[in-house]
Amino acid sequence: MPLDEKAVLAVVGLARLEPPERPESDSAAADPVAAMVSEFAKIVDYMAILNEAETEGVEPMYSPMIEPQPPRPDEPRRDAGKADDILGQAPERVGRYFSVPRIF
Amino acid sequence: MSELFRLTLAEAAAGLAAKKFTSVELTASSLARIKATEPRVGACLAVLEERAMGEAAAADKSGPDPARPLRGLPVTVKDVFCLKGAPTTAGSRILENYRPVFEATVVARLREAGAVVVAKTNCDEFAMGSSTEFSAFKTTRNPRDLSRVPGGSSGGAAASVVSLQAAAALGTDTGGSIRQPAALCGCLGLKPTYGRVSRYGIVAYGSSFDQAGPLARSSADLGLILSAVAGPDGLDSTASDHPLDDYANAVPADLKKLTLGLPEELWSADFDGGVARRLDEARKLLTGAGVRLRPVSLPNLRFSVAVYYILAAAEASTNLARYDGVRYGYRAGGDPELLSLYRNSRTQAMGEEVRRRIMLGTFVLSSGYYDAYFRKAAQVRRLIAEDYRRALEGCDFLLAPVSSIPAWPFGAFAADPLTVYQLDMMTLPLNIVGAPGLALPAGLTPGGLPVGLQLMGRHFDELGLLSAAGAMERVLPSPGDPPALG
């Protein structure tokens, strides 16, 4: 069953995005939300092709590395020292802090 | 010394060593070529003229140094590589004003080897796309036909090399983004083994797929660049300590001793007529030169588009969660609370294709769908990897087309993202498997558009790929210079 509008809008929210704005006219053809929903559902629908693959007992492959690298020694590095540079990229800051709107 | 920009990297290095010209002259020639061709081609997002001329002067002053084989040689880098003090946008509005405070390891290594970065090249936003049409900033045109796309996502890189702005470019290949634009513009491109090259300081898209590599006009130049950037890196745990080879001195292979496997599933695709004709001729030229060609099979290949788009989108949705309007990049104004700041900043400053892939990744990782999509795709990934290993048994390399169609007119697929995803089918297997591949030109269609072939090798056999390509490029037709651009 293809994804419906409610399911797709839930994904938009989880992705921390906003859906396109609905125009005021009631013409369904021009509804950008409906267009996004149908396009997204079509892509997800295509992915169902994987159901045709036989994967019983197959270990998932999350990395293509054929020779996993040994971890490096757990030694702290003191050469970072870039706090001011990094804070300098902040769109808004207060002193040595990133600034955000209130949370509640 | 008027047309130094025509030289390959190796030729320019030899000329500098013989003191036939200086790096200042060479770099000035490259910058003049950029100025002359950019109004038509649009390959670059930032031209670093002042900085490049300063570095060229320093290179001339320092003189020859065996530890700096790229001394004084102009190159371009894709705008996904962090270059300290220069803009790094990844083609996205959300990074429009970002200035990295650190440098990508591969760029640092190129510069330590002496290379002069003359420009940062255009790409699809966050390297997500196959035509460079998804750049938020500008249109890059195919130097061989300005009404057509250059391919992507490293479209600016390929266009810069083919329009002779620089002899070599650094790009990235997550699902074909080096090989496909190289093929569509008519140059060579190398996607190294996953882990051969550090990913530190590259704006991340799909972390288990992304790999940086060179584009150039000869296989020797690919080797020069790879040799400078490859190797382990304390800043990237996936950069492998597998022994390095002498990529800069690959000896052309003996074609009579070469056996290439032709994956049936790729060669039976629905090809454009002009592309099919070139591919047939290329096979005849290779067999005529003594190459043995044998059919092989990748039975699970038909799943590769779904596997790639599920896994890469999942990784992208995770990687791009960092763009939140708080620490760097674009921030939407006037939001009274945090969640709407995140949503509005991301929605306003990310393009439609990027948002689509973030949504797809979020969906396949969400509760209730994870096993059916994400885990299932990772299982099929292993099946494709096993197919690949088996197909290579008894062959030195696999040989496949890069694209079933030549460069297409702007906007041809604008309304149909799924069709564009499916066009990636020929390049995706390598990224799924993590193996290395090399795209090289195989001539032009009757309409004058480049056609490419790709060699696919075993993990860490970049030297073998360079050797085979070094012999094949002497047999296959060269695409020649593009039409006048300046």
Q: Chain A residues with CB inside 8 Å of B435's CB?
A: 64
Please check whether residue A18 lies inside any domain of the structure. yes
Burial of B209 (0-12, 13-18, 19+ CB in 10 A): buried
The per-residue pLDDT for B481 is 85
The answer to whether residue A86 is domain-embedded is no
In a domain, A24, yes or no: yes
Residue A22 lies in a domain: yes
Q: Which H or E element spans position B443?
A: strand B437-444
CA-to-CA distance for B183 and B213, rounded, in angstroms? 15
**Rounded-to-integer distance, Cα B179 and Cα B154, Å:** 9
Pairing assessment for the beta strands B116-121 and B44-47 based on DSSP bridges:
antiparallel
Contact (Cβ atoms closer than 8 angstroms) between residue B187 and residue B180: no
Q: Count of CB atoms within 10 A of residue B139's CB?
A: 15
Determine how β-strand B74-78 pairs with β-strand B168-172.
parallel
Q: What is the arrangement of strands in the sheet containing B212-216, beginning at the earlier edge strand?
A: B44-47, B116-121, B74-78, B168-172, B212-216, B188-191, B437-444, B450-456, B397-401, B259-263, B292-296
Q: Is the pLDDT of residue B1 over 60?
A: no
Find, in chain A, the residue whose alpha carbon is nearest to that of B312. Answer: A62
Q: What gap in Å lies between CA B400 and CA B387, rounded to an integer?
A: 15
Q: How many helices (H) and strands (E) does chain B have?
A: 16, 11
In a domain, A102, yes or no: no
A25-34, B45-54, B95-104 — most confident range: B45-54
pLDDT for res A15: 98
Run of H or E residues at B58: helix B49-62
Q: Which residues of B322-340 are buried (b: 16+ CB within 10 A; e: fewer)?
A: ebbbbbbbbbbeebeebee
In terms of Cα–Cα distance, which of B461, B434, B356, B447 is closest to B195? B434
Please indicate if any CB of chain A lies within 8 Å of the CB of B354.
no
- B295-332: pLDDT as tens digits: 999 999 999 999 999 999 999 999 999 999 999 999 99
DSSP 3-state helix, strand, coil percentages of chain B (rounded to 5)?
Answer: 45, 15, 40
Domains of chain A: total: 1
Q: Under an 8 A CB cutoff, do B360 and A64 touch?
A: no
Question: For testing the chain A interface, which of B327, B367, B392 should be mutated: the one with the most A CBs within 10 Å?
Answer: B327
Instruction: Give the residue numbers spanning the domain of A25.
Output: 5-52
Q: Which residues pair with B131 in a beta bridge?
A: none
Q: Which of residues 23-82 of A touch B (CB under 8 A)?
A: 39-40, 42-44, 46-47, 49-53, 55, 58-67, 69, 71-72, 82
- The C-alpha atoms of residue B413 and residue B400 are separated, in whole angstroms, by 24
Residue B429 C-alpha, separation from nearest chain A C-alpha, in angstroms: 11
Yes or no, beta carbons of B328 and A91 under 8 Å apart: yes
CA nearest to A9 within chain B: B359
Spell out a b/e string for A34-61, using b for 16 or more CB atoms within 10 Å of the CB, else e: eebbebbbebbeebeebeebebeebebb
- Mode of pairing for the β-strands spanning B188-191 and B437-444: antiparallel
**pLDDT over 60 at B72, yes or no:** yes
Q: Does B137 touch chain A (CB under 8 A)?
A: no
What pLDDT is stored for residue B484 in this prediction?
Answer: 79
CA-to-CA dists, residue B430 to B200, B305, B389, B458, angstroms: 21, 12, 11, 10
B267 touches chain A (CB under 8 A): no
> In sequence order, what E strands does B283-378 have?
292-296
> B272 in contact with A at a CB cutoff of 8 Å?
no
- Rounded to the nearest integer, the mean pLDDT of chain B is 97
- pLDDT for B450-465, tens place per residue? 999 999 999 999 999 9
- The percent of residues above 90 in pLDDT, for chain B, comes to 96
DSSP string of B251-297, one letter each residue: PPP-GGG-EEEEEHHHHTS---HHHHHHHHHHHHHHHHTT-EEEEE-
Q: Are B377 and B307 in contact (CB under 8 A)?
A: yes
Range of the domain at B467: 1-485
Q: Which amino acid is at B131?
A: S
| Residue A59 belongs to some domain of the structure | no
User: Which of these, B196, B82, B128, B84, lies nearest to B436 by C-alpha position?
Assistant: B196
* Dist. CA B241–CA B215, nearest whole Å: 24
The answer as to whether A80 is a domain residue is no
- Residue A9 belongs to some domain of the structure: yes
Q: How far apart are CA B463 and CA B316, in angstroms?
A: 31
Per the structure block, which two tokens stand in for B232?
């382990």
User: What does the pLDDT look like over B256-293, one tens digit per residue?
Assistant: 999 999 999 999 999 999 999 999 999 999 999 999 99
Distance in Å from the first CA to the final CA of chain B: 17
Q: What is the pLDDT of residues B386-412, one digit of tens each?
A: 999 999 999 999 999 999 999 999 999
CB atoms closer than 10 angstroms to residue B486 = 14
Could you tell me the CATH number of the domain that includes residue B459?
3.90.1300.10
pLDDT in tens, chain A (104 residues): 679 999 999 999 999 999 998 887 666 567 999 999 999 999 999 999 999 999 999 999 999 998 877 888 888 877 766 788 889 999 999 999 999 998 77
Q: How far apart are CA B160 and CA B44, in angstroms?
A: 8
pLDDT given for residue A28 in this prediction = 55
Closest CA to B165 of B185, B184, B148: B185
Write phi, then psi, for B437 (nearest 5 degrees): -150, 160
Active site residues of B: 78, 153, 177
pLDDT, tens digit, for every residue of B418-455? 999 999 999 999 999 999 999 999 999 999 999 999 99
Q: Cβ contacts (< 8 Å) between A98 and chain B: which residues? A: 326-327
The minimum CA-CA distance between A10 and chain B, rounded to whole Å, is: 9
Number of residues written out for chain B:
486
Please give the tally of structural domains in chain B: 1
Region B74-101 average pLDDT? 96
Give the model confidence (pLDDT) of B471-480 as tens digits: 999 999 999 8
A28/chain B closest Cα distance in angstroms: 18
Q: What are the φ/ψ torsions at residue B298 (nearest 5 degrees)?
A: -120, 80
Q: What is the pLDDT of residue B482?
A: 87
Show the tokens assigned to A99. 């600034």
Contacts of B340 (CB under 8 A, 6+ apart): none
Cβ neighbours of B244 in A, within 8 Å: none
State the pLDDT at residue A84: 87
The residue with greater pLDDT, B203 or A28, is B203
CB pairs under 8 A between A and B: 164
Query: What interface predicted TM-score (ipTM) does this complex get?
Result: 0.94
Dihedral, CA of residue B157, residue B306, residue B451 and residue B151, to nearest 10: -30
What's the Cα-to-Cα distance from B179 to each of A72, B49, B243, B408, rounded to whole Å? 33, 28, 25, 16
- For residue A80, the model assigns a pLDDT of 66
Q: Among candidates B385, B372, B455, B444, which has minimal Cα distance to B185?
A: B444
Comparing CA positions, the residue from B105, B135, B174, B151 lying closest to residue B45 is B135
